[in-house]
Amino acid sequence: MNILVTGGAGFIGSAVCRLLAGRGDVKVVNLDKLTYAGNLQSLRPIANAASYKHYSVDICDDAKVLEILRREEIDTVMHLAAESHVDRSIDGPGAFIETNVVGTFRLLNAALSYWRELPSGKQERFRFHHVSTDEVFGDLPFDDGVFTEETPYAPSSPYSASKAASDHFVRAWHETYGLPVVLSNCSNNYGPFHFPEKLIPLVILNALDEQPLPVYGKGANIRDWLYVEDHARALELVATKGQVGQSYNIGGRAERTNLGVVEAICDLLDERRPRGGGKSYRDLITFVADRPGHDRRYAIDPAKIERELGWRAEHTFESGLARTIDWYLENEWWWGPIRREHYRGERLGEGVKGAA
């Protein structure tokens, strides 16, 4: 099987590439134009594998994408390329519309043209897997409800609105043109190789630098957390065994308040890398003004993918967080250059960018 992964140098995309190419039984083609969050160092474990190849190509270049689909004889497209940071979408929504909406539209056109050229047997096997987020559903009350595959869309931020739009386009290309698609919506991911502007790596690295740990409002907002390697396994199942035209919610059954996440990180660091003078990393927690449109709670019901595809999260939040912290403590070669080159001063922790 030949699988094209868009955004394969990003956080989740690189986990998918490492999983698939690491086994050697499939060929993985990574299509990533390498924006600020794309990092080929995340693919160092498979960089020289015969089962892996990278193209630095923009998904908006549909002619080039079509050329690669043909050249590599792609059987499955796993579309993960996206702008994904909510704070960035508030500051500059245009890039999110361009990548998440226009990019998905152009990728769908390339995939449709390619699919129509395939012989009937390969047409039946071809899949376009669109990877989305639980944020398209809006938010939930603090004490009731979960997102299912039937939950109406109600996005709250420019980011979630752009992802909702891309979801609708994917469904439309299936209903109108017959393109064989599957979709998935996931909860908050965390784990190794996570870009340092996101909550968990930001808190870990700010703590190690003795910088403030910014928390929005009172830290009461709740998210469902999913270890990235569990997510990668789920995505493979959806792409290869999911029912055409269906969507699958993927969550870790691990709801935590943002403050609870930050405190858990502090407690683990207190054990693994104690501060001087007997101080706790919790002393660095700093509450900042809440961001606009901050959703209260996300909670995913993964019963459908558990029931139909046999997937289960292997990591609890506690075990996954411990593995994540250990990875960051042991792999400054990866995150150190990113911290030094891209995020200094206010943009990396002294302000509210990336706060919980």
Catalytic residue among 62, 134, 230, 295: 134
* Helix axes 103-117 and 158-177, enclosed angle (nearest 10): 20
> What is the 8-class DSSP label of residue 106?
H
Q: How far is CA 241 from CA 161, 247, 283, in A?
A: 28, 12, 48
Q: Which residues, other chains included, contact 32 with Cβ-Cβ below 8 Å and sequence gap of 6+?
A: 6, 7, 8, 9, 10, 13, 38, 54, 55, 56, 57, 81
Q: Which residues, other chains included, contact 30 with Cβ-Cβ below 8 Å and sequence gap of 6+?
A: 5, 8, 9, 13, 17, 43, 52, 53, 54, 55
Could you tell me if 187 and 225 are in contact, meaning their C-beta atoms sit under 8 angstroms apart? yes
Query: Sign of dihedral through CA atoms 246, 252, 255, 261?
Result: negative
Could you tell me if 233 and 217 are in contact, meaning their C-beta atoms sit under 8 angstroms apart? no
159 is catalytic: yes
Q: Is 149 exposed, middle or buried (0-12, 13-18, 19+ CB in 10 A)?
A: middle
Catalytic residue among 52, 87, 114, 159: 159
283 is catalytic: no
52 is catalytic: no
Could you tell me if 273 and 336 are in contact, meaning their C-beta atoms sit under 8 angstroms apart? no
Catalytic residue among 83, 135, 167, 230: 135
Q: Which residues form the catalytic set? A: 134-135, 159
